């Protein structure tokens, strides 16, 4: 058996998957729905991991391409008893050690380590307050959305404190750059040090999961706090028929599933569920760094998700993620000719701000 230290701890899980070959993970895997090749499903990637361990396969650019095409969305893990995501992360680390990594991912890691952010920030947002609110790179790059979120939090009686922050660096870890992630994490703790012992409100689902699971911090997604305060508030009803897309990190990984639905109903909306929702929601296509290395694949995944909404007779999708909304909008825009209708993708924070005005 070849020496792959990151993978060796998962030998039992890898062989369990290879022996049972149940396939529950593959049927609705968002990437498999596009690629239609076993290698791109969780079960196929587990065979790749076994091939590495047994020395049957050698690290290669082709293997890197297969692993880079994983959204790291966790759908397969929700269908399985095994730690699929940890195994895929380990394979990515082994490939990096062997010299196989996407130049785009290397550039992303370099940018975050050099500048402290994943995206350009037109003007870093600051606010004096009492409750720490961590915005994250995606929202810091969208000042209008930040103003909307802060407006909603103020309306429900919260006093958000927004101070200096740097990237949580999820993407560095997700694509296998472990040493770089440790360096980025150390800088985060230094910059955000004054708030590390407090409960931190968060808005980006990916940042929330990373701060909880990788940093061990006490975090609370701001939508949960809003849902707790919404009863008794004066609300201007929004009469629309919509479906809700659960962001992977928010729903499946953090368990924030009921609160967004409670909010939609409180706003007077008719909610129609897609076939895949809640824990078994499927990805928008923007996860795991896929959009950076295979934009066409990301768009095809997004198009399938938009088709899921159309299948239940809805032309409005609501979500609560700075990655999901633009990714789904790209898919919707490319489906106009096929569907004969534009499926709009709305931000739950925008709707809240309208209804609470």
Topology given in CATH for the domain delimited by 235-355 = Rossmann fold (3.40.50)
Does residue 102 register a pLDDT over 80? yes
Beta bridge partners of 243: 317
Tell the burial category of 61 from Cβ atoms under 10 Å away from its Cβ (0-12, 13-18, 19+): exposed
For the chain, what is the mean pLDDT?
A: 95
Measured distance CA(346)–CA(243) in Å, rounded: 10
Task: Give tens-digit pLDDT for 237-292.
Answer: 999 999 999 999 999 999 999 999 999 999 999 999 999 999 999 999 999 999 99
Measured distance CA(314)–CA(274) in Å, rounded: 9
Predicted confidence band of residue 1 (pLDDT cuts 50, 70, 90): low
For 32, the 3-state DSSP assignment is helix
Q: Do the domains at 131-226 and 235-355 have one common CATH topology? A: yes
Dmax (CA) of the chain:
65
Parse the chain into domains and list their residue ranges: 5-101, 131-226, 235-355
pTM for the model: 0.95
Q: CATH code for 131-226?
A: 3.40.50
Task: Give tens-digit pLDDT for 184-228.
Answer: 999 999 999 999 999 999 999 999 999 999 999 999 999 999 999
In angstroms and rounded to an integer, the radius of gyration of the C-alpha atoms of the chain is: 20
Sheet holding 344-347, edge to edge: 270-271, 241-244, 316-319, 344-347
């Amino acid at each position: 058996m070849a020496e792959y230290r990151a993978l060796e701890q998962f030998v039992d899980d890898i062989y369990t998957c290879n022996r049972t070959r149940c396939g529950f993970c593959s049927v609705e895997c968002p990437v498999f729905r596009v690629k239609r090749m076993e290698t791109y499903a969780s079960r196929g990637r587990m065979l790749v991991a076994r091939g590495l361990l047994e020395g049957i396969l050698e690290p290669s650019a082709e293997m890197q391409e297969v692993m880079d095409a994983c959204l790291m969305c966790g759908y397969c893990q929700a269908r399985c008893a095994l730690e699929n995501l940890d195994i895929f992360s380990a394979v990515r680390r082994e490939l990096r050690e062997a010299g196989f990594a996407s130049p785009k991912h290397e550039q992303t890691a370099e940018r975050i380590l050099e500048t402290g952010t994943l995206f350009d920030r037109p003007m870093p947002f600051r606010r004096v307050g009492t409750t720490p609110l961590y915005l994250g790179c995606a929202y810091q790059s969208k000042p209008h959305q930040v103003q909307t979120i802060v407006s909603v939090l103020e309306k429900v009686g919260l006093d958000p404190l927004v101070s200096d922050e740097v990237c949580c660096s999820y993407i560095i870890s997700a694509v296998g750059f472990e040493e770089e992630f440790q360096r980025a994490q150390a800088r985060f703790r230094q910059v955000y040090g004054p708030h590390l012992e407090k409960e931190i409100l968060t808005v980006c689902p990916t940042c929330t999961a990373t701060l909880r699971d990788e940093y061990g911090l006490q975090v609370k997604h701001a939508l949960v706090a809003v849902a707790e305060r919404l009863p008794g508030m004066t609300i201007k009803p929004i009469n629309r028929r919509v479906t809700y897309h659960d962001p992977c990190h928010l729903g499946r990984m953090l368990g924030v599933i009921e609160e967004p639905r409670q909010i939609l109903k409180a706003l007077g909306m008719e909610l129609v569920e897609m076939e895949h929702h809640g824990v078994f929601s499927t990805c928008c296509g923007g996860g795991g760094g896929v959009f950076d290395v295979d934009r066409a694949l990301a768009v095809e995944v997004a198009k399938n998700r938009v088709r899921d909404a159309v299948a239940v007779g809805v032309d409005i999708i609501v979500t609560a993620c700075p990655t999901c909304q633009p990714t789904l909008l790209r898919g919707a825009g490319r489906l106009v000719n096929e569907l004969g209708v534009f499926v709009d993708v709305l931000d739950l924070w925008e709707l809240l701000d309208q209804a609470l005005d």
